[in-house]
Amino acid sequence: MDLRDGQTQQILDPNQPTHVYHLALDIGGSLAKLVYFTKDDNHSVDGEEGISHRKTLQKSNGHKQYPVLNGRLNFKKFETSKINDCLEFIKSMKLHIGGIQPQENPGSQPIAVKATGGGAYKYADLFKERLGIILDKEDEMDCLVAGANFLLEVVHQEAFTYMGDQKQFVQIDKNDLYPYLLVNIGSGVGMIKVEGEGKFERVSGTSIGGGTFWGLGKLLTKCKSFDELLELSYRGNNRAVDMLVGDIYGGMDYSKIGLSSTAIASSFGKAISDNREREDYKPEDIARSLLRMISNNIGQISYLNALRFGLKRIFFGGFFIRKHPFTMDTLSVAVNFWSKGEAKAMFLRHEGFLGAVGSFMSSDKHGLKELLANEVVPRSPSKLSFAVDKILRSLPDGEFNGDESIECSVYAA
């Protein structure tokens, strides 16, 4: 699929009228993620709203499919602790009105919206009370894998490597995508061996993840948010807190086993020997040490599981990463070191939205095609697929802060 960089553009203005055709959510322990599709009204047929027949024929010739809708796939995130902000955004954008209504006795039942994650259960009553919608729950692992597969197969330059301040996009051949290890770093960490569409197994995980970084960071510093803590860590120096190999060996490497003098021997180890209190350490140094400790641990466990199953590619997802250079570099160095360069750590542009995208795609089998069939098309679609045209991003240089639109077309086979 062709993807061309579009001009910088913010996410849709809530004050502007739009046609929302579908909403899906992934409500985790730390963040609530939204994915919603909005129709492009730039095309008309005989003076009426619809899709250009000329464009339809052009697309059909190229894809052997016909477009049902042209529009944007939009992304938005909120802290789960501020779930009311998420509810207000949905209400202000009227996103819930575009949800799928149960097919039995249409008009007599509340609207159902696809959702995954633990929050789909925890906040089900709140969504029904405030917005009058039912959260139609999808399995979390199913959605994570479906979302990752979709993005890797459809979005050009979705995957990239990052090490030594060098970012390099990876061309993914969808015919040679599997198998791979998907490491989703949310509040905790899940590690999934993916062998094909719908064929996967959760093989490991760890409770030391993004929630650990945020929780300990909040206790050890005065940061009020995850992003503030991440920004603080960027200014820190972990060597002021961590005990290095050189601290033990008088500044020398331990070359016999391949450890340089700058390798970390013990995270937070200097706090043991230094005659100082916590207040004597800079908050930014503590944050940096904490980030490196957690990232190194995740990187090592990820590689060991890849080694266990003979997997050469490891894709890291989840909002813990946030495109933070130091986090990505630490994960990459850990995988590279333990694998002796045989395995690669790769990252995803839409890392935090895998579950939400998977939840969105699950509507293909639960009513999205019926909803889209009301458009100007020659016949009712039996299956849907997406073609990505371009990304409309809100930050330069391909960075992604969680608010973005992908311009795309929905096709029926």
CATH number at residue 173: 3.30.420.40
Dihedral over Cα of 325, 330, 333, 336: its sign: negative
Residue 86, domain member (yes or no): yes
Q: Does 316 fall in a domain?
A: yes
Q: What is the per-residue pLDDT for 193?
A: 98
Same domain, residue pair 179 and 324: yes
Beta-strand runs (E) in 80-225: 111-116, 133-137, 159-163, 166-170, 180-185, 189-196, 199-206
- Total structural domains in the chain? 2
The answer to whether residues 286 and 308 belong to one domain is yes
pLDDT at 64: 52
At a CB cut-off of 8 Å and minimum separation 6, what does 103 contact? 367, 370
Contact, 323 vs 316, CB < 8 A? Answer: no
Q: What is the pLDDT of residue 388?
A: 54
Exposed e or buried b per residue across 355-389, where buried means at least 16 C-beta atoms within 10 angstroms of its C-beta = bbbbbbbbbbeebbbebbeebbbeeebeebbbbbb
Predicted local distance difference test score (pLDDT) of residue 290? 97
Supply the pLDDT for residue 143.
95
- Whether 234 maps to a domain, the answer reads yes
pLDDT of 266 reads 93
Read off the pLDDT of residues 250-283 as tens digits, 9 standing for 90 and up: 888 888 887 888 889 999 999 987 788 888 999 9
Task: Check residue 90 and give its pLDDT.
Answer: 93
Alpha-carbon gap, residue 132 to 147, rounded angstroms = 27
| Contact (CB, 8 A) for 281 and 271 | yes
Dihedral sign from CA coordinates of 181, 186, 190, 194: negative
Which amino acid appears at position 215 of this protein?
Answer: G
Q: Is residue 168 part of a domain?
A: yes
Rounded Cα–Cα distance for residues 163 and 385 (Å)? 34
76 with 207, same domain?
no
Q: Which residue in this structure is represented by tokens 């933070």?
A: 324
Kindly state whether residues 37 and 95 are assigned to the same domain. Answer: yes
Task: For residue 385, report the phi and psi dihedrals to the nearest 5 degrees.
Answer: -145, 160
> 160 is in which domain, residue-wise?
156-241+281-349
Closest by CA position to 67, among listed 386, 398, 392: 386
Nearest to 29 by CA among 226, 163, 177, 162: 226
Shared domain for 225 and 180, answered yes or no, is yes
Residue 216 sits in the same domain as residue 316: yes
Are residue 229 and residue 304 in the same domain, yes or no? yes
C-alpha 380: how far from its chain's center?
A: 32
- With tokens 């789909």, the residue in question is 120
- Please, are residues 133 and 110 in contact by the beta-carbon 8 Å criterion? yes
Residues in the chain where the model's pLDDT stays below 50: 1-17, 43-63, 102-103, 366-384, 392-401, 413
Same domain, 162 and 299: yes
In a domain, 192, yes or no: yes
- 373 contact partners, CB below 8 Å, separation of at least 6: 68, 380, 381
User: What pLDDT score was predicted for residue 385?
Assistant: 56
Alpha helices by DSSP H, 261-392: 270-273, 283-309, 325-339, 354-361, 368-372
Predicted local distance difference test score (pLDDT) of residue 297:
95
Spatial separation of the C-alpha atoms in residues 377 and 61, rounded to whole Å = 16
Q: Is residue 32 part of a domain?
A: yes
Q: Which of 120, 177, 118 has its CA nearest to residue 150?
A: 177
The two tokens of residue 376 are 């100007």
Co-location of 82 and 142 in the same domain:
yes
DSSP-assigned letter for residue 299: H
Structure tokens at 231: 């920004």
CB contact at 8 A, 404 and 393? yes
Question: Do residues 211 and 72 both lie within one domain?
Answer: no
Backbone φ, ψ for residue 404 (5° rounding)? -160, 160
- 276 sits in the region (left: phi over 0; alpha: psi -120 to 50; else beta) called beta
Q: How far apart are the first and last CA of the chain?
A: 16
Taken in order 290, 324, 147, 29, the sign of the CA dihedral is positive
275 is a domain residue: no
- Domain identity same for 301 and 363: no
* CATH code for the domain of 121: 3.30.420.510
129 and 35, same structural domain? Answer: yes
Confirm whether 314 is domain-assigned: yes
